[in-house]
């Protein structure tokens, strides 16, 4: 049985043209979400990105990573960034977008062809760098948005275009605000 707040594959497919029209070189920061503790979300209008802390007040550093031998936070997974148009499609309601678990939601083409690892983005006063580790959907994502959503973001096309999002790290600390333009730095 499909939950009322879960999209069908047909609905997600209908959003594809809109998603594919995401800007390539510069796009607005549509949402900032801090995760102070597991399963907690705070939508912010402004925040600080810090080289050591990531999104200040987020639990990234304290949570650590199973990918690191010592369990420490993975510096290449400091920030999770999702295409705002994909998040809107799977969430159906902007109020549900933070459930995706990402910190930054950009109206920007996140495909590896457009933003390969090593690409830097100026955002507000900060600069972030796209990192290598893949960002994939998990059981929590499926529970929150449905099986069709997880299939959509992890499909061949979804993976090829990074629909689930990308990982990044802060390379220049600074303040950011919703509405700031993320601009590729050449």
| Dihedral over alpha carbons 47, 50, 54, 57 (to 10 degrees) | -50
Q: What pTM value is reported for the model?
A: 0.94
Token digits of residue 174: 């600074």
Class of domain 9-185 as given by CATH: mainly beta
Say how far apart CA 49 and CA 55 lie, in whole Å: 5
Mean pLDDT by 10 residues, the chain (186 residues): 72 95 97 93 97 96 85 91 97 91 97 97 98 84 92 93 96 98 93
Query: In the chain, where are the structural domains located?
Result: 9-185
Residue from 180, 107, 102, 183 nearest 140 by CA: 102
Say how far apart CA 7 and CA 142 lie, in whole Å: 11
Half-sphere exposure of 57 (CA within 13 A, CB side): 13
């Amino acid at each position: 049985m499909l939950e009322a707040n879960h999209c069908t594959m047909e609905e997600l497919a209908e959003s594809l043209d809109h998603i594919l029209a995401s800007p390539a070189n510069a796009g607005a920061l549509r949402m900032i979400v801090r995760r102070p503790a597991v399963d907690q979300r705070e939508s912010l209008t402004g925040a600080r990105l810090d080289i050591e802390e990531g999104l200040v007040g987020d639990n990234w550093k304290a949570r650590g990573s199973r990918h690191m031998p010592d369990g420490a936070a993975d510096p290449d997974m400091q920030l999770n960034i999702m295409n705002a148009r994909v998040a809107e499609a799977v969430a159906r309601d902007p109020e549900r977008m933070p459930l995706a678990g990402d910190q930054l939601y950009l109206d920007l083409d996140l495909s590896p062809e457009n933003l390969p690892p090593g690409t830097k983005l100026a955002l507000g006063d900060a600069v972030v760098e796209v990192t290598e580790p893949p960002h994939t959907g998990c059981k929590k994502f499926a529970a929150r948005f449905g099986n069709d959503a997880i299939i959509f973001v992890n499909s061949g096309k979804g993976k090829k275009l990074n629909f689930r999002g990308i990982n990044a790290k802060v390379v220049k600390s600074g303040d950011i605000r919703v509405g700031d333009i993320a601009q590729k730095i050449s």
